[in-house]
A = this chain, B = another copy of it.
Amino acid sequence: MTTRDHQILNALPYPLVLLGGDQRIVAMNPPAVERLGAGLIGRSYVSLRQPALLDCIEQVFRTGQAGRTRYPGTGLDRDRTWSVLAAPLPEGILVSFEDVSELEQAGQARRDFVANVSHELKTPLTAMLGFIETLRGAARDDATARERFLGIMQREAERMNRLVNDLLSLSRVESDERMRPTAEIRLGDLVQSVIASLRPVAEPLGVTIDIDCSVDSQTIVRGDADQLTQVFFNLIDNAVKYGRDGKRVQVHMERVSRDSSLRGPAYHVTVQDFGPGFDPIHIPRLTERFYRVDSHRSREMGGTGLGLAIVKHIVNRHRGRFRIESTPGNGACFTVSLPAVA
């Protein structure tokens, strides 16, 4: 083992373990120490312990041919999946580890996603099929039942339709999350027009929407108008629906000369309701797809379970921050921070 070997191994980002001809561990680079543990230098390769890995190495020593294996980590690296190459050197073996966890997780994420979407659709579809059957059979000549069932069917179909639209929105936002939007948007005007479009929803529920705005309505941010409209629509619509008992939604807009998480001047838009709020324990998961504080209530309100996930992704794309606060009994407060144009 030369210093030069060390230099090369240490210049590489993946875990590497060098074994000598005597089957002992000669060198490990820092990623290997981090994943496999310290204090292994000079010990036999069997100290690496992972059965699939040991089998693979043992075979390379026996045959002189390179070997590959793949296994889920345990202990220090239990959240990882490794793909390993053990390549023979004139003396000893160089073992390199490739972390394939993200790929495995991407596959798992897709399966979870399919399972969630299917679950969201199965219930309303089953209900629809039941109503259709009843309308063609038992309730064939019952005009009152018909009107009622058709009303429920319409709500369910509209909710499924919203779900499909939300899925498409989310997918689009994710695909251009790396491209920062560049149009100049008048933030105050945009928020005002969202409020105007939601008043017809709020009034029948007895909810007023107030705005107090300490900034010029002509304030410019760099953004995507459709996406920012969706952000404030989702937040204010939620506040009206879930906070309806509080009878009031307060929208507040201000300029902050230095936002520490954005490292510069920013605009903060806060949407506050005075309804029941929720246990803060839910906050970290609220922006996950299909996570709901109260599934039954969310569905009753026509929610798709995707609204806050969409908000989070749009705000990320705008290089902003999204913060949620709530005290049970005291309403909930959602804050969007967007970088101000310098």
Query: Within A168-216, which residues are at the interface with B (CB < 8 Å)?
Result: 168, 170-171, 174-175
The interface stretch among A42-50, A98-106, A246-254, A332-340 is A98-106
> Using Cβ atoms and an 8 Å threshold, which residues of chain B touch A22?
none
In the assembled complex, A142 has its CB within 8 A of some CB on chain B: no
Kindly specify which of A2-10, A217-225, A312-320 makes contact with the partner chain. Answer: A2-10
Are A121 and B160 in touch, CB under 8 angstroms? yes
Please tell me if the beta carbons of B106 and A13 are within 8 angstroms of each other in the complex.
no
- A89 proximity list for chain B (CB < 8 A): 7-8, 11
A117 touches B7 (CB 8 A): no
Please judge, given known A-B contacts A12-B94, A106-B103, whether A118 and B164 are in contact too, CB under 8 Å.
yes
- Inter-chain contact A122/B87, CB cutoff 8 Å: no
Residue contact A111 to B11, C-beta cutoff 8 Å: no
Closest to A104 in B: B106
Residues of B within 8 A of A54 (CB): none
Contact B167 A154 (CB under 8 A): no
User: What's the minimum C-beta distance from A204 to chain B, rounded to whole angstroms?
Assistant: 20
Contact between B164 and A12, CB atoms less than 8 A apart? no
| Chain B positions within 8 Å of A16 at CB level | 12
- Which residue of B is nearest A3, CB measured? B90
Question: Of residues A125, A157, A158, which shows the largest number of chain B Cβ atoms within 10 Å of its Cβ?
Answer: A157
Q: How far is the CB of A116 from chain B (nearest CB, A)?
A: 10
Does A122 contact B164, Cβ atoms closer than 8 Å?
Answer: yes
A309 at the B interface (CB under 8 A):
no
The answer to the question of A153 belonging to the interface, with a C-beta cut-off of 8 Å to chain B, is yes
A184 to B285, alpha carbons, bound, how many Å?
44
Contact of A90 among B7, B13, B121, B153 (CB under 8 A): B7
A158 and B129 contact, Cβ closer than 8 Å, known pairs A8-B89, A94-B12, A114-B168: yes
Q: Is the CB of A125 within 8 A of B13?
A: no
Chain B min CB distance to A96 (Å): 5
A residues adjacent to B (C-beta < 8 A): 2, 4-5, 7-14, 16, 85, 87-90, 94, 96, 98, 102-103, 106-111, 113-115, 117-118, 121-122, 125-126, 128-129, 132-133, 135-136, 146-147, 150-151, 153-154, 157-158, 160-161, 164-165, 167-168, 170-171, 174-175
Interface pair A160/B125, CB less than 8 Å apart: yes
CB-CB under 8 A from A135, the residues of chain B are 146, 150
Closest chain B residue, CB of each to CB of A107:
B106
How far apart are the CA atoms of A107 and B87 in the complex, in Å?
A: 32
A-B contact pairs, 26 of them (CB 8 A): A4-B5, A8-B89, A8-B94, A10-B87, A11-B87, A11-B89, A11-B96, A12-B16, A12-B96, A13-B98, A102-B103, A103-B106, A107-B175, A115-B171, A117-B167, A118-B165, A121-B160, A121-B164, A125-B161, A128-B157, A129-B161, A132-B153, A132-B154, A136-B147, A136-B150, A136-B151
